[in-house]
Structure 1
Amino acid sequence: MTISYSLKVSEARLGGFPKLLLRWKASIYKLLYKEMAIFVSLYSLLSGVYRFALTEHQKRTFEKITLYCHQYSDLIPVSFVLGFYVSIIYTRWWQQYMNLPWPDRVSALIGCAVHGRDERGRLIRRTMVRYLNLSSVLILRSVSTVVYKRFPTMNHVVDAGKASFVINLYQYIAKTRQRL
């Protein structure tokens, strides 16, 4: 769901941009404020200990430790590690995208495989694509929260017109079984 901020931007005054950033629903600040608070707290604690609690000899020892750690920080460049990480994340995302069940390809195959320009061929193609769309909705209901919110129950799928033909067929089969 997209959230529009254009009204807030148009009414912006002095100091309006920071307010807009804090108001932002998908704000980077809202995602990172806990980690940032922990980092600032630990940094302030270390800085306070270094400045006020350590003696001169302890300060020199602390500086030697930091220089030792800094020597080994350049062995593997951060840009290389970051590039490798981004590559892995992008590859994983692309694989998920490619594995989504797109009905377009199968619909094109159905259009090519089911011959006939008459009413029967058209009904067969339409029914097969309806089943394909229904299977896509049912699969995406189990994966996507957005689709699940749109179709929380099978009744919602039927109300949207996606499965009324299947429900009618199921009810017809159930009635014929009761007769036997």
Structure 2
Amino acid sequence: MTVTYTAQVANARFCGFSKLLLAWRGSIYKVLWKEFLAFFAMYTAISVTYRFFLFDDQKRYFEKLAIYCNHYASLIPMSFVLGFYVTLVVNRWWNQYTRIPLPDRLMCVLSGGLQGVDERGRLLRRTMMRYASLSALLILRSVSTAVFKRFPTMDHVVEAGFMTREERKKFESLKSPYNKYWIPCVWFTNLAALARCEGRIKDDSTLKLVLEELNHFRGNCSMLFHYDMISVPLVYTQVVTLAVYSFFFVCLIGRQFLDPTQGYLGHDLDLYVPIFTLLQFFFYAGWLKVAEQLINPFGEDDDDFETNWLIDRNFQVYIESHVLLSFSQPPIVIVDVIYACICSG
């Protein structure tokens, strides 16, 4: 999944990025090598046909066609089309990451807002945190193929401890063709209102703060759902893809090395291997592959988000909340080393 290399480039030095060029997992070589070899094979096949299988009059016609294709291929605005598209996809990719629901803020608010050291208070806090984790699991299960493979049915969700069997019955009793990730949030609000009635949430301002944090959490879940439902317009993706492939299809003919004895402008050398055309393919097609990798970061590519890790991490927060939110053993207020030095000075 996510390829992390920040530790390798922690310090700027001579050719600092050079070691990254040898990496394979998550690299441009891994995602592009098949297309690159296919392009080079087609170019070679056309070149061999031109050199050894065409008659002289056929070669002259092919040479005119190659000059024509090379002249008009430059009219396709590749840099503009790809640059704007990749910028859109990268911004969308990062916005989706910032919308991943994390329960930390909610746990901190419950820690200070929902009081009670008895079993009832601890159970309320743990159940509310479990509902938040369940809501995040349901939305990630609907947008991530990796999470869906791990939790293909609601039975797996129950077995993992995110939901009880009674809660599953209530969840499935609401018939809806739409995603029901919001139901655990409703259960959360019901428990928050109950805690307010029992006096465990001291005032309405604290209740408002708890519900605001829940709505922020639910809003992140909602945005992930809408990002999954509303994609980059298909017509835009088609235009960019067709532009790239059409350009290099034309280059298969237009970038051929022609017979130097014919005196064509710019065809004084016959190098056989189109080094700069291959580099251009590597950069432009690689640019398109960047967009292809990032347009849906909830798949199972090398650089997609670690959604299963996030599920485990959120569940660990829920488990640890049993201890952190208990109030039975608050931290002891003591004089720390720095404060002691200040006072003694």
Separation in 2 of the partners of 1:140 and 1:158? 16
Pair 34,170 (structure 1): closer, same or farther in 2 beyond 3 Å: closer
Letter in 1 for 2:85: Y
- Map of 1:80 onto structure 2: 80
Deviations 1:136-161 (A, max 9, x none): 11222233233234334444433433
- Map of 2:59 onto structure 1: 59
Written as runs of structure 1 = structure 2, the 5 A alignment for 1:1-180 is 31-105=31-105, 107=106, 111=110, 115-119=113-117, 123-163=123-163, 166-167=164-165
- Map of 1:16 onto structure 2: none
Letter in 1 for 2:78: V
Letter in 1 for 2:135: S
- The answer for unaligned runs of 5 or more in structure 1 is 4-19, 172-180
- The answer for unaligned runs of 5 or more in structure 2 is 4-21, 170-345
Pair 134,61 (structure 1): closer, same or farther in 2 beyond 3 Å: same
Separation in 2 of the partners of 1:55 and 1:79? 38
Q: Offset of 1:122 from its aligned partner?
A: 5.5
| 8 Å contact kept, 2:114–2:125 | no
Separation in 2 of the partners of 1:122 and 1:36? 59
User: Between the two proteins, what is the percent identity of the paired residues?
Assistant: 53
Pair 65,137 (structure 1): closer, same or farther in 2 beyond 3 Å: same
Deviations 1:85-109 (A, max 9, x none): 311221332343344334345x169
| 8 Å contact kept, 2:141–2:148 | yes
Q: Offset of 1:127 from its aligned partner?
A: 2.4
- What SS class does the counterpart of residue 126 from structure 1 fall into? helix
Deviations 1:6-31 (A, max 9, x none): xxxxxxxxxxxxxx98xx67676664
| 8 Å contact kept, 1:140–1:147 | yes
| 8 Å contact kept, 1:110–1:125 | no
Letter in 2 for 1:117: Q
| 8 Å contact kept, 2:141–2:147 | yes
Q: Offset of 1:121 from its aligned partner?
A: 5.8
Q: Larger relative contact order (C-alpha < 8 A, sep ≥ 6)?
A: 2
TM-score (norm. length: structure 1):
0.58
Which shifted more, 63-72 or 115-124? 115-124
Deviations 1:72-127 (A, max 9, x none): 2333453333322311221332343344334345x169539x84433466654432
Separation in 2 of the partners of 1:88 and 1:169? 41
- Map of 1:6 onto structure 2: none
Separation in 1 of the partners of 2:161 and 2:62? 70
State the Cα RMSD in Å. Answer: 3.8
Separation in 2 of the partners of 1:109 and 1:80? 46
| 8 Å contact kept, 1:116–1:122 | no
Pair 146,32 (structure 1): closer, same or farther in 2 beyond 3 Å: same
Which shifted more, 75-84 or 61-70? 75-84
Separation in 2 of the partners of 1:135 and 1:116? 20
Which shifted more, 148-157 or 124-133? 148-157
Pair 82,129 (structure 1): closer, same or farther in 2 beyond 3 Å: same
Separation in 2 of the partners of 1:74 and 1:26? 31
